[in-house]
Structures are given as structure tokens and as C-alpha cells.
Amino acid sequence: MLDIATSLVFVEVLTVVNCVTTFLLWRANPKLRGLAEVSISCLALTLTFGLMAFRTPHIITVSNAVTVFAIAMVTEGMTVLAGRPPMRWLVYALTVFTAVLWEFLQWQSPDDAPIRVVAATIIYVGLYGRVVYEAFRNGRRFGAARVCLIASLLIHIAVLIARMTVALLHPDPNFVFSPMVLPWFMLENSVVMTTVFFSIMIMVGTRVDEDLQQRTQSLEAERRMHGRLKQFLSTLGHELHTPLAIIDRSAEMGGVLLTHQQGEIAPRLDTIRATVERMRRLMNNLLMAERAELVGGGGDLVDLGKVLGDLTQILAQKYEEERIVVNLPHGGSQVRGDREMLATALGNLIDNALKYSPKDQPVLIQVRNDDAVHIAVSDKGIGFPLQQMAKVGQRFFRAANVADIPGTGLGLNIVKTVVEKHGGRLHLANGQDGGAVVTIALPAVSG
């Protein structure tokens, strides 16, 4: 035969396990907000079963109020898990109402246990009925969980009503609290708790599966969008380059065919060519800025020594090659990523350093391998205005001290975007002896 102490210990252990399990699941996936309410309800039930060992009036009031709070809270948890808005005000209102009602009943009729059983049954049936109603409203979304939940709660409601009937009809008003009835009622409670917890776990699995499907669909849609955007940028670049090249070539040929008497037209043709070049540069930068947004992580191994060597040869056509000084670590340096975009970012960075420095001053590129790969580009130019440092790198922003130097305000923005897309960081500073120091930190190649 069951005894009350064994029953209490059993349900205490059960509620503690349920509480810890739901809490850990919630912490692992905070988006499943309903699990927080379920965990709180299990904790409240643990307190309730502990208080049942004491039968003083005020403790009975607290025990019943906490029980109502726990049942209402687990209802909220399942409602939120089902994707419906919570009604937390109902939880607190019922808890306060139960506490006030029990104090009143024990003050008015301290020996009338059946009336308290009737009051508790009405409240519990109402709360469990809401769970059943919410389960029906969700249709077939939760499948087996819905069936188990509805069946177990309907059986429990029937048990509660039968218990109330016995309390009203039995000669002994405390019969439902006797060692003959209470342990079996506690056992039935534990079975219901287990079934409800099992149903909640199935609901959690369904929600996680739905979230994974939504994320997969979102990623697939984003992948298709990126593909279309890449194709659009490629087409746009091709279609714009062609007319600009025609205009530039026509202006160049017009200058060749001019006679001495028509020399006043030459400045206008030069203006056309300069404008075309400016449009081409702006277009290239805009396209590159948009492409930089599409760069992902991973990629191939990129040899920074080779990239910087190629950039030095390219920039030597525009600046003196002796102005670019590259210091590489022994054994070279490699990172993982998109070679073309990394070369574009480093090219923009070095080009800026050369453009904003005096023509007789070198630009130092220092590469260092430690916890990350650091690429520092130092110059002896105008540096960054301290009051505008936070804005440098924003798209189209140009500092106040570069107003007389042509530019689009996209160079450092492209650098910053490419670096961040590769999981790195961009640090801007002014050198102690003047000029700017821009440092890129990229993740080191593992293994």
C-alpha cells in the first residue's frame, strides 16, 4: 500500500527533473520562450509538494495558491509554444484570487474541507480545460503530443470531479486527504505530469523542426537572391562599361583629328574624358561595394605575399614603385577567403595611403603572424581628423581634410566590409609622427 511520504518524495524528484530538463532546453534555445514558463511551473510544483507535508492553515493557503500558479504557468508555456499570445495577467490574477479565497474559507469554515475541495476542483478544471481548448485549437499541428495531452487531461479532469463528488458525499469530510486516498491521487498526478511533460517535449521537437525548416527556406531564398544580385551586378558592369568606353574612345579620336584652328575644342574633349574616367571609377567602386556585401566566410587559401607583390606592380604604374615597402614574416603569410575581394580591399587601402601622402614619402606595409594575421599600412600623409574618426569607413563619407583630393567615399567602406565578411577587424589610428595607420586583422589559418 502506498504511503503519503513515499508519494511526496516521488513527485518531488519528478518535478525537479522536469524543471532542470526544461530549463536546460530553454537555455539551449532561448527562442522557445514557452519552456521558461514550463520550467517555472515545475519549480513551483516542487515547492507545492514540499509544503504538503505541513497542514497548518496559512501553509495550506500558500500551497494551493502556488499550485494554481504552477498550473496556470504551464498552461501559458504550452500556449506560447503553440505560437499563441500569452495571458500572464490571468496567472497572477488567479494566484491572488486563490490565496484570498483560501484564507476566507479557512476563516469562515475551518472544518469544512469539502467546500475547499469544490473550490479547488472548479479552479483546476477551468485551468486544465483551457489547455485542452488550446490543444484543440491547434488542429493537427502537434500530432501525437496533442492526442496524449488531451487524453491525459480529460482523464485527470474526470478524477478531479470524482474526488470532489467523494468529498461531498462521504461522511468523513477529510476522507480525500486520508492515507487511503491521497497517495493514489498523488500517483495519478505524477502520471499526468509525466504525460504532459512528454507532450511538451514532442511540442518542442515540432517547434524546433519548424524553425529549422524556416531557416532552411530563408537560407535558400537568400542564396537565390544573392545569385540574382551577382548576375545583375555583372550585367550592369558590362553594360555600363561599353558605352563609357565608346565615349572615351570617341573623345580621344576627336582630339587626334583636331586641326590647329580647332584647338579650343581640345579642353572640352579633355573634360569629357576626365568625366568619363570619374564615372567609370565611381561605377567600379559602387559595384565593388555591393559585391563586398555578398562575400562569405571560408574560401581558398590566399598567399598575402603574392597578392601584395601583384598590387605593387599594378600601383607602380600610377605611383613610384620605390614608395611601397612591404615587410613579410619569415615563411610568408596566408589567410582563407576570396582572393579577388581581399586584393581589392588591400589595393584600396594602399592606394589611399599613397594618394593622401606626399609624393616623396613611402608607404610601409607590415604583415605579422600571431593569434591573427595583422596587415598594417602606415603612411606620412594627412591622417584622420580625431573628431570624425568614428565616421571614417561609412559609405560615401569623406573626412573634412580630404575635400581637395578626388574620391568617392567608398574605398575604406569596401575595405571595412570585406574584412568583416572574412571575420576580421579594421582598426584606424594616427601615427605618432603623423600620417595614418590602418590595421587589418584576419583570422589565422587553422591547422
Tell whether the model's pLDDT for residue 320 goes beyond 70.
yes
H helices present in 138-265, as ranges: 144-169, 182-257
Question: Which grid coordinates belong to 407?
Answer: 574620391
**Span 278-302, average pLDDT:** 62
**DSSP tag of 227:** H
**Span 64-78, average pLDDT:** 84
Q: Side by side, which strands form the sheet with 324-327?
A: 324-327, 363-369, 372-378, 436-443, 425-430
Region of poorest pLDDT, from 79-83, 330-334, 358-362: 79-83
DSSP line for 21-67 = HHHHHHHH-TT-THHHHHHHHHHHHHHHHHHTT---HHHHHHHHHHH
Domains of the chain: 4-220 (1.20.1070), 297-443 (3.30.565.10)
Question: Which grid coordinates belong to 125?
Answer: 478544471
Tell whether the model's pLDDT for residue 261 goes beyond 80.
no
Tell whether the model's pLDDT for residue 318 goes beyond 80.
no
Q: For residue 14, what pLDDT is reported?
A: 78
Q: For residue 274, what pLDDT is reported?
A: 64
- Quick one: CA torsion of 344, 348, 351, 355, rounded to 10 degrees? 160
For residue 297, what pLDDT band results from cuts at 50, 70 and 90? low
Q: Measure the CA–CA gap between 326 and 377, rounded to whole angstroms.
A: 9
The whole-chain average pLDDT of the chain stands at: 78
Give residue-wise pLDDT tens across range 341-377: 888 888 888 888 888 888 888 889 999 888 888 999 9
For residue 264, what pLDDT band results from cuts at 50, 70 and 90? low
Q: Does the pTM of the predicted model rise above 0.75?
A: no
DSSP line for 168-203 = HHSSSTTGGGSTTTHHHHHHHHHHHHHHHHHHHHHH
Q: For residue 75, what pLDDT is reported?
A: 80
Greater confidence (255 vs 105) lies with: 105
For residue 107, what pLDDT band results from cuts at 50, 70 and 90? confident
Whether residue 440 contacts residue 349, with contact meaning beta carbons closer than 8 Å, is answered with yes
Tell whether the model's pLDDT for residue 263 goes beyond 80.
no
Listed residue (165, 83, 85, 90) closest to 127, CA to CA? 90
Q: For residue 2, what pLDDT is reported?
A: 58
